[in-house]
A and B are shown apart, each in its own frame.
Chain A
Amino acid sequence: MSNFAFSSLSDVLNMDGHGVYVWAVFSLFLITISTSFYIFNLLIKKYQKRVK
């Protein structure tokens, strides 16, 4: 593994002006994947109740 690529937390967030794009994609990923898991678990519970 290489060295830490940034010198401060604000550097990590800013990424030389590209942070807005990188963190927007990160947020999109996080929201979409976690929502999908949540929805499918909810659907499973719903249909399990119907089967019972």
Chain B
Amino acid sequence: MNRLYPWLLYISLFIYLFAIIWGLLFTPKDFVQGHSYRIIYFHVPASFVAQSLYAAMAISSAVFLIWRVKLAAYLARSIAPIGAMVTFIALVSGSIWGIPTWGTWWEWDARITSTLILFIMYLGLISLHNSFNNFDKADKLLAYLAIIGFIQIPIIKKSVDWWSSLHQPASITISDKPSIDPSMLYPLFMSMIGFAGLVACLVILSSKVQIYIREKNKSWVKDHV
């Protein structure tokens, strides 16, 4: 992991910076939203990664509960603060985008409210885990709640289709052709890949912290340090 980390960090940083420069300075102005649409290169990667991180947390929680893999529990706990931070970026960037686009920074709309619930869930899982002195109990409870809370992800995804919403429907879907012009779409894809890589680096760092906290008395950790 130590060898992989600098490669992942520098490649992701390069991809993300390239995508941001392309998106902010070289893509044409949007016909309807003007230049404010350029917030898409921050908001969409953050929203996509916020939901993906929750899915990753639920999967690692399931791995921990089924196969009793301790590292999976550490990973689930490591993902929670990064997930909260990324969801916070998605919420704030969306709110700022709402001012020029909708004329309001906040609306109790299905997509925004469900994303706020995701943010509160991340914070709740962190607080719950921190409230236990016994790591085993804390890990189990976090795993069960993370799996139960996974129901939130399809709700966020489908909220714009199920309820009438100020938020626009998804511009990129697996089944349909993207509704966004290719000149804007390619930097968007690149920004999503680059940002996901940067967040993966943060998860690696956060996992290291968890390992040092939990395994500090083990000889292999001492050897590693």
Contact = CB atoms under 8 A, between A and B. Distances in A.
B113 interface: no
Contacts of B100: 17-18, 21
Given A28-B89, A36-B85, A44-B209, A2 B183 contact: yes
B93 A37 contact: no
B43 interface: yes
A25 B96 CA distance: 7
B132 interface: no
Contact of A5 (B20, B29, B82, B225): B29
20 contacts: A1-B26, A2-B27, A2-B28, A12-B25, A19-B35, A21-B36, A22-B38, A22-B39, A26-B24, A28-B96, A29-B42, A32-B88, A32-B89, A40-B205, A44-B209, A47-B209, A47-B212, A48-B225, A51-B212, A51-B216
B99 interface: yes
Nearest to B33: A18
Contacts of B38: 15, 18, 22
A32 B205 contact: no
Contacts of B225: 48, 51-52
The interface residues of chain B, by DSSP majority, are classed as helix
A33 B209 contact: no
Interface string B87-99: 0110011001101
B208 interface: yes
B28 A21 contact: no
Interface of B: 20, 22, 24-29, 34-36, 38-39, 42-43, 46, 82, 85, 88-89, 92-93, 96-97, 99-100, 183, 198, 201-202, 205-206, 208-209, 212-213, 216, 221-222, 225
Given A28-B89, A48-B212, A5 B205 contact: no
Contact of A40 (B22, B88, B93, B209): B209
Interface residues of A, number: 32
Interface in A1-52: 1-6, 12, 15-19, 21-22, 24-26, 28-29, 32-33, 36-37, 40-41, 43-44, 47-48, 50-52
A9 to B, nearest CB: 11
A6 B205 contact: no
A51 B221 contact: yes
A44 B212 CA distance: 8
A24 B94 CA distance: 12
A52 to B, nearest CB: 6
Given A33-B198, A51-B221, A2 B26 contact: yes
- Top 8 nearest A-B pairs by Cβ distance? A47-B212, A15-B35, A40-B205, A18-B36, A18-B35, A25-B93, A51-B225, A43-B209
